[in-house]
Amino acid sequence: MADYTIGLGNNDSQTRKRADEDYIKFWAEQAKNLYWFEVWHDTLQWNPPFGGWFVGGKLNASYNTLDVIVQKNPTKTALLWEGEGGQSRVVSYNDLWIEVNKFSNVLKSLGVQKGDRITIYLPMVPELLVSMLACARIGDSGSKIVITADGGFRRGTIIKLKEVIDDAISGLDFIQNVIVLEHAKIPVALTSRDKKWPDLMKFASPNCEPEKLESTHPLYILYTSGTTGKPKGVLHGTGGYLTHLYSTFKWIFDIKDSDVYFCTADIGWVTGHSYVAYGPLLHGATQVMYEGAPDFPTPSRMWEIIQKYKVTIFYTTPTALRMFMKFGDGIPNLHDLSSLRLLGTVGEPINPEVWKWYYDIIGKKKSPIVDTWWQTETGGAMITPVPGLETISLKPGSATRPIPGVDIAVVDESGKEVAPETKGYLVIRKPWPGMLLTLYHDDEKYKLVYWSKYKTSYYTGDYAIKDKDGYFWMLGRADDVLKVAGHRLGTAELESGFVSHKAVAESAVCGIPHDVKGEAIIAFLVLRDGYSNSETLKNEIVDHIRNVIGPIALPEQLYFVPRLPKTRSGKIMRRLLKAIAKGDDIGDISTLENEAAVSEVQAAFEEVKLSIKKNQTR
């Protein structure tokens, strides 16, 4: 078996030991890596289930991500921005600092005050970061001002952002101003409420004192991906959240001054907030920011970018990887990927097959993979290898162990920790610094969603297993667990079985009621390039499942579909497949990326249903 032991020069056993001894003291030590205007009096105020970290402490997120870096190294490159069409911009920390100061003054001149809310609707451009950090500088949390652009680029077309905003806010009298960035250079209708970005910035002063904000001051509100169809408005604070990100970014990515980091996440999702905006900037890292779609104009777009900027750390999603795999090895093999030294993944369980492909073909067997498990609610990574801290032997498909200072377990229905190798629910047993403050304007829902199944542990909603070595394996969402003939099966276990067949690029399974088995498994499969739908292939795949998982996992039906329905953050929406299969209402699909996928799945489903009927009547 291949040896996947990693450790990037560090083997610090002390950190984990200190964390185990006293997690509160440990996080206080970590918080000292940030710049505080005033030191906290209480490291943790825990009024279950509400936590406040570093209470009494005062700091500013924009000061920590910009001023602190600029004082040491003003010319350091912050952003290597790449547009979809190949345009590029280089932005230094000093450039970013000036822009953020000016924009903070612009917001103030428009009457924005500490505690006001601002809506940002921008493409992946440097001004998006400028806007976020300016809000953080003056103490805003997230709507009387809207910041947008004329348009943004996606798959070669221009999305008219200003028009979308005009529609969205028509009749909303409380919106005082809309700030419009000229990015796509398309004509837009402007009223007296609308202000052009350059007009506002022209005379803005480049000095804006950062507000000294309470550690528990809200930094932003962000909605979860909506995989379950019920996005939740997660509210994050400042001091705890930044501490979590400072530490995890260093531990996970072992960041060095010379690194070129590239995270493919959109800033609109939590990965973009935590590991594009705050984590890298807190460390003065240089990163690539890319505006367009990962496979546009060609499937080699990501590899071109890695080659062009000599990217050393690449952080993406299993969904993206499965798509790249579908196109075959030839495409990445045409590019020089030798600069890469570390690979990351987040968002869904990564199938062992995909993990190995990433390791072999992209990392050329020399770059370790950090599979990072976390949620919008956790703020930062929770279960992940930490090569910047310690050596660990990786296992393809496992996110490995919790980071130091957090307490995570797998429990049964009653909340009791299960024996190793037993499936159960993933819970977090102690407060952690990146934890959400609450759900925006809904403390009751916060209690209900996360703290009602188990009173003293945070319920993640994920199904998992901890093996004998203490490694965690994510089996999928608890809501999606299938109950077949008395066995509980996580979606990830089954889907990894399908994806390990050479013809299968992507798979999604769900259960439908069955008289005998309780639930029957149905699978929706996307084939790799070069394979096509046939009965022989179907039978071959079913045999494969029998071999790799066992007869219990045999699907009742297989459907070949061109695409799977996914959220905009790239996660498979299994609940939609289930609704289609059961003939239920498909519910809210506002977070869906590709609406066409729904009708494609419906069509595949109908086709199979009809052919079953035909066979029955024969």
Q: Which residues bind Mg ion (CB under 5 A)?
A: 224
Pattern 388-427, binding to ligand ATP, x per CB under 6 A?
-----------x----------------------------
Measured between its terminal Cα atoms, the distance across the chain in Å is 51
Shortest reach from residue 222's CB to ligand ATP, in Å: 9
211: tokens are: 């507000």
Using CB atoms within 10 A of its CB, is residue 192 exposed (0-12), middle (13-18) or buried (19+)?
A: exposed
Cβ pair 332, 300 in contact under 8 A: yes
CA-closest candidate to residue 178, choices 191, 137, 220: 191
* Binding-site member from 148, 337, 569, 580 for ligand ATP (CB under 6 A): 569
Shortest reach from residue 616's CB to ligand ATP, in Å: 37
Binding to ligand ATP (CB under 6 A): which residues in 587-606? none
Pick the piece of the chain touching ligand ATP (CB under 6 A) from 7-15, 210-218, 306-314, 372-380.
372-380
Shortest reach from residue 257's CB to ligand ATP, in Å: 28
Shortest reach from residue 581's CB to Mg ion, in Å: 22
Q: Find which of ligand ATP, Mg ion, none residue 226 binds, CB within 5 to 8 Å per kind.
A: ligand ATP
Q: Which is nearer to Mg ion, 105 or 224 (CB)?
A: 224
Distance CA 346, CA 548 (A): 25
Q: Is the dihedral of CA 302, 307, 308, 311 positive or negative?
A: positive
Distance CA 152, CA 617 (A): 53
* Binding-site member from 474, 510, 522, 579 for ligand ATP (CB under 6 A): 474
Q: Which is nearer to Mg ion, 125 or 436 (CB)?
A: 436
Tell me the residue length of the chain: 618
CA-closest candidate to residue 342, choices 311, 319, 372: 311
Binding to ligand ATP (CB under 6 A): which residues in 183-242? 224-228, 230-232
Shortest reach from residue 445's CB to ligand ATP, in Å: 12
Q: Find which of Mg ion, ligand ATP, none residue 522 binds, CB within 5 to 8 Å per kind.
A: none
Binding to ligand ATP (CB under 6 A): which residues in 454-473? 460-462
Q: What is the DSSP string of 30-82?
A: HHTTS--SB--SEEEEEETTEEEEEET-EE-HHIIIIIHHHHH-TTSEEEEEE
CA-closest candidate to residue 198, choices 184, 182, 176, 185: 182
Shortest reach from residue 84's CB to ligand ATP, in Å: 24
Our finding on whether 372 is near ligand ATP (CB under 6 A) is yes
166: tokens are: 């005009």
Pattern 340-359, binding to ligand ATP, x per CB under 6 A?
------xxxx----------
Distance CA 30, CA 44 (A): 13
- Which residues of this protein are in contact with ligand ATP, per CB under 6 A? 224-228, 230-232, 270, 346-349, 371-376, 399, 460-462, 474, 477, 569, 571
